[in-house]
Protein backbone atom coordinates (compact mmCIF):
# COMPACT_ATOMS: atom_id res chain seq x y z
CA UNK A 1 0.00 0.00 0.00
CA UNK A 2 1.45 3.31 -1.05
CA UNK A 3 1.71 6.36 1.14
CA UNK A 4 -1.12 8.08 -0.74
CA UNK A 5 -3.44 5.12 -0.30
CA UNK A 6 -2.62 4.94 3.42
CA UNK A 7 -3.53 8.60 3.89
CA UNK A 8 -6.74 8.20 1.89
CA UNK A 9 -7.74 5.22 4.04
CA UNK A 10 -6.99 7.18 7.22
CA UNK A 11 -9.17 10.10 6.06
CA UNK A 12 -12.04 7.73 5.35
CA UNK A 13 -11.65 6.00 8.72
CA UNK A 14 -11.48 9.26 10.70
CA UNK A 15 -13.61 11.91 8.98
CA UNK A 16 -13.44 15.56 9.98
CA UNK A 17 -15.70 16.76 12.80
CA UNK A 18 -19.05 18.22 11.77
CA UNK A 19 -19.81 21.93 12.20
CA UNK A 20 -20.87 22.87 15.72
CA UNK A 21 -19.13 19.98 17.47
CA UNK A 22 -16.91 20.30 20.49
CA UNK A 23 -13.74 20.06 18.41
CA UNK A 24 -14.50 23.31 16.62
CA UNK A 25 -15.96 25.19 19.58
CA UNK A 26 -12.84 24.76 21.72
CA UNK A 27 -10.87 27.42 19.80
CA UNK A 28 -13.64 30.08 19.95
CA UNK A 29 -13.27 31.42 23.48
CA UNK A 30 -13.99 35.10 23.04
CA UNK A 31 -11.93 35.50 19.88
CA UNK A 32 -13.13 35.81 16.35
CA UNK A 33 -11.85 32.97 14.18
CA UNK A 34 -8.66 32.64 16.25
CA UNK A 35 -7.16 35.90 14.99
CA UNK A 36 -6.02 38.56 17.43
CA UNK A 37 -6.77 42.22 16.79
CA UNK A 38 -3.67 43.28 18.71
CA UNK A 39 -0.76 44.74 16.73
CA UNK A 40 2.14 42.34 16.22
CA UNK A 41 5.86 42.88 16.57
CA UNK A 42 8.29 41.83 13.81
CA UNK A 43 8.52 38.31 15.28
CA UNK A 44 4.76 37.88 14.94
CA UNK A 45 3.87 38.04 18.63
CA UNK A 46 1.00 40.32 19.65
CA UNK A 47 1.90 43.44 21.60
CA UNK A 48 -0.21 43.57 24.74
CA UNK A 49 -1.42 47.00 25.85
CA UNK A 50 -0.57 48.14 29.40
CA UNK A 51 -2.93 46.83 32.04
CA UNK A 52 -3.59 48.12 35.56
CA UNK A 53 -4.62 44.60 36.56
CA UNK A 54 -1.24 43.15 35.53
CA UNK A 55 0.61 45.94 37.37
CA UNK A 56 -1.47 45.38 40.53
CA UNK A 57 -0.81 41.62 40.43
CA UNK A 58 2.93 42.25 40.09
CA UNK A 59 2.76 44.77 42.95
CA UNK A 60 0.89 42.30 45.18
CA UNK A 61 3.48 39.59 44.55
CA UNK A 62 6.28 42.01 45.37
CA UNK A 63 4.48 43.26 48.50
CA UNK A 64 4.17 39.70 49.79
CA UNK A 65 7.89 39.18 49.16
CA UNK A 66 8.68 42.46 50.96
CA UNK A 67 6.64 41.38 53.96
CA UNK A 68 8.25 37.92 54.13
CA UNK A 69 11.75 39.35 53.84
CA UNK A 70 11.21 42.10 56.42
CA UNK A 71 9.24 39.99 58.89
CA UNK A 72 11.11 36.67 58.78
CA UNK A 73 14.48 36.99 57.03
CA UNK A 74 15.74 40.48 57.90
CA UNK A 75 15.03 40.17 61.61
CA UNK A 76 16.71 42.74 63.83
CA UNK A 77 16.78 42.04 67.53
CA UNK A 78 17.05 44.52 70.35
CA UNK A 79 20.38 43.82 72.12
CA UNK A 80 18.97 44.60 75.56
CA UNK A 81 15.81 42.47 75.53
CA UNK A 82 16.43 40.02 72.67
CA UNK A 83 13.04 40.77 71.11
CA UNK A 84 12.34 41.87 67.56
CA UNK A 85 13.14 45.54 67.00
CA UNK A 86 10.46 46.00 64.28
CA UNK A 87 6.78 45.31 64.70
CA UNK A 88 4.53 43.40 62.33
CA UNK A 89 2.55 46.58 61.71
CA UNK A 90 5.69 48.30 60.44
CA UNK A 91 6.39 45.37 58.12
CA UNK A 92 2.85 45.54 56.72
CA UNK A 93 3.16 49.30 56.24
CA UNK A 94 6.43 48.98 54.33
CA UNK A 95 4.93 46.19 52.19
CA UNK A 96 1.87 48.34 51.40
CA UNK A 97 4.01 51.33 50.45
CA UNK A 98 6.09 49.03 48.23
CA UNK A 99 2.89 47.71 46.63
CA UNK A 100 1.62 51.20 45.78
CA UNK A 101 4.96 52.47 44.48
CA UNK A 102 5.81 49.34 42.48
CA UNK A 103 2.34 49.06 40.92
CA UNK A 104 2.52 52.65 39.70
CA UNK A 105 6.02 52.26 38.33
CA UNK A 106 5.19 48.92 36.66
CA UNK A 107 2.17 50.44 34.90
CA UNK A 108 4.16 53.49 33.78
CA UNK A 109 6.97 51.32 32.39
CA UNK A 110 4.49 49.02 30.61
CA UNK A 111 2.78 52.05 29.07
CA UNK A 112 6.10 53.56 27.95
CA UNK A 113 7.27 50.28 26.38
CA UNK A 114 3.91 49.77 24.64
CA UNK A 115 3.94 53.28 23.15
CA UNK A 116 7.53 52.83 22.02
CA UNK A 117 6.75 49.52 20.29
CA UNK A 118 3.74 51.06 18.54
CA UNK A 119 5.84 53.98 17.31
CA UNK A 120 8.48 51.60 15.97
CA UNK A 121 5.85 49.55 14.16
CA UNK A 122 4.23 52.65 12.70
CA UNK A 123 7.46 54.27 11.54
CA UNK A 124 9.35 51.11 10.67
CA UNK A 125 12.69 50.05 12.04
CA UNK A 126 15.66 52.33 11.42
Query: Can you spell out the DSSP letters for 33-44?
Result: TTB--S-B-TTS
Q: How many domains does the chain have?
A: 1
Query: CB of 75 within 8 A of CB of 27?
Result: no
Residue 28 in any domain: the answer is no
Residue 117 in any domain: the answer is yes
Question: What's the pTM?
Answer: 0.60
Task: Kindly indicate the confidence band of residue 124, based on its pLDDT and cuts at 50, 70 and 90.
Answer: low
Residue count (the chain): 126
Residue 30 in any domain: the answer is no
Q: What is the pLDDT of residues 18-51, one digit of tens each?
A: 655 555 555 555 545 556 677 777 777 888 899 9
Domain with 86, as residue range(s), is 38-123
Q: What is the pLDDT of residues 71-104, one digit of tens each?
A: 888 777 777 777 777 788 989 999 999 999 999 9
Amino acid sequence: MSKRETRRAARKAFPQAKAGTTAQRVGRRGKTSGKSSLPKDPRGRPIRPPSVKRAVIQGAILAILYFVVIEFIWVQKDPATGEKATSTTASILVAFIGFVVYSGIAYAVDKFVYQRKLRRLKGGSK
